[in-house]
Structure 1
Amino acid sequence: MDEHKETNGERALKETIRRIRPMDDEAARLARSHSDSLTKPPGSLGKLEDAAAKLAGITGELWPDLSKRAVIVMAGDHGVCEEGVSAFPQAVTPQMVHNFLNGGAAVNVLARQAGAEVVCVDIGVASELSHERLISRKAVWGTRNMAKEPAMTREEAVSAVLTGIEVAQEQLQRGVRVFATGEMGIGNTTASAAIVSVLAGLPVRETAGRGTGIDDKALSHKINVVERAIALNKPDPEDPIDVLAKVGGAEIAGLAGVILGAASNRCPVVIDGYISSAAALIAMRLCEHAREYMLASHLSQERGHALLLQKLGLSPLLQLDMRLGEGTGAVLAFHLLDASIRLMQEMATFDSAGVSKS
């Protein structure tokens, strides 16, 4: 960001980033030590032990109370849908937003099971939406077609990131202590593929997948569209805001903001699938320490997700062959976080159980 061109929005974003501190390594070490004292071989609970240590490091508490939880579902439309990159029409985005708000989507069902609230945010839907439970914070009325021009202006992209930060702050004030990321936006796997290709330096054929279920011919066309968009807009891989503006989406920017807002308050964020992970990559490139506050929920079937998680340095808790989005995988992972903390709290130690270590 050039200082002489820096806007008030970018200054506010930098202020949030400055508040993000490294994880508490001592708390994580104490959690590991406690885990090793429990009646089991060291490390035998695998990723559950890893999660418990990471949650301790994030929060600074040996077994944090994560009972107040929310999945933030950001919704936005994509102008690139004009290019025929999705199996579904753009009209599905607002229809699904109403489905979320009425409690009928998959994420609503799984959130109820996990004791999580679904918080739905209109950050960029290309139509007017109104509902008592909708958080209406439009940064754009749908992005522009990135195959013909930049998807957003830099100011719009920054505004969308700041909106995500604000939503996280509002939920924190309501007592939320752990977040899941979710999204809705027809065409958003196309934007995610472009973001990942630019920031991770990967060819589009490795980052663009079938999304909502397109066939081989449509996939080849989608790859071509993403390649054209990158060639036309020339997003700067050293500037994540530039990448967001030129080939991204408002909901992806908003989720990056949610991650940054949670991290700046030492709260864990459970990352969902491919689109959420693209947002996580943006957040990490804006602030390296933000990665320490992320937990990967699952490995999506979407092409490129495994490579993206490697770039993020995250190992998924689940592999269920899911590719729905919405935050479904992230909400399922809440159960595993609960299990990791309960094991820490309730298992007997070798000493308390009178069990010999050798």
Structure 2
Amino acid sequence: MTQQPPPVPVSDPDAKTFEQLQSARPRILAELGKAIVGQQDVIEQILIALLAGGHCLITGAPGLAKTLLVKSIAQIFHLEFRRIQFTPDLMPTDITGVEILQDTAEGRQLSFVKGPIFGSMILADEINRTPPKTQAALLEAMQEHQVTASGRRYALPEPFFVLATQNPIEMEGTYPLPEAQLDRFMFNVVIDYLPENDEVAVVQRTTSASEEKIETLFTGEDVLAFHALVRKVPIAEDLVRFAVRLAAATRPRQAEAPPFVNDWVSWGAGTRAAQFLTLGAKARALLHGRAHVTREDLVALAGPVLRHRVLVNYRAEAEGISVARIIERVLESVK
């Protein structure tokens, strides 16, 4: 049985933020329910990334309300929403911004015109449709929360989140994200088709005249306070060790790797996977009204954290072995 660490003393602002988060989940789900039907796991994973300060890769077929979901969450948290449609001819300056000559009282001067990346919640739509040069323009913004143009640095607004979508079909002519950029994303959230009853509800709602307005519940300052509180959540050392062993068990040709990993995996998860597992588990605990992490939190997030960090080899593809199946086997094998 996991022995939880003693609770850490919290200040009055932390206690107030914790109480705010305890009552937040039903209110957030109620507001999202005005626009989104079902997809509870998807919603929870995006909210966890938001609370933890991570970025998300969202994978799903067209027409599954990915844009609507992200826009609705931005409304609830009062974050400036920007949508960038990635296309094969998109240039890096189309995202970050460009310097132009402008007439001023002192004559013509170069001034920087900010691009759409200067928002708080950025939806990078179909990121695999644009060349690597433009994809790489997101790297500095995602990691450093800044943009560099002509040697000058421009800070991005805080909080700052990137949620990039990928279309898993029609892959011909696309540019798969390199592993280094995939690793920047905290989660790979998979959106699937709805059950029949939920799909009927969506069709009825979207073809009628009534539309409920989503209310704002929080501010950007609240989100920054949530980030600070998440990092103060205590976690037992054996649970951190479990997260580290989960990541290590996906690496082929390592002592910790089970035999099936050596057979089916060409590349496994790095240390950042264990970091995101631990941080995400802390955020999930708070979202569920708990002030400590449990093993269930880590297990629930193993899929979103690992599925884009584990690369299968040709043997696994030939045998029809999916990444999801490998992650299930890893969870069964790691104690």
TM-score per shorter chain, which class? under 0.3
The structure with the largest helix share of the pair is 1
In our comparison, the structure showing a higher alpha carbon Rg is 2
What TM-score does the superposition give when structure 2 sets the normalisation length? 0.27
The structure with the largest strand share of the pair is 2
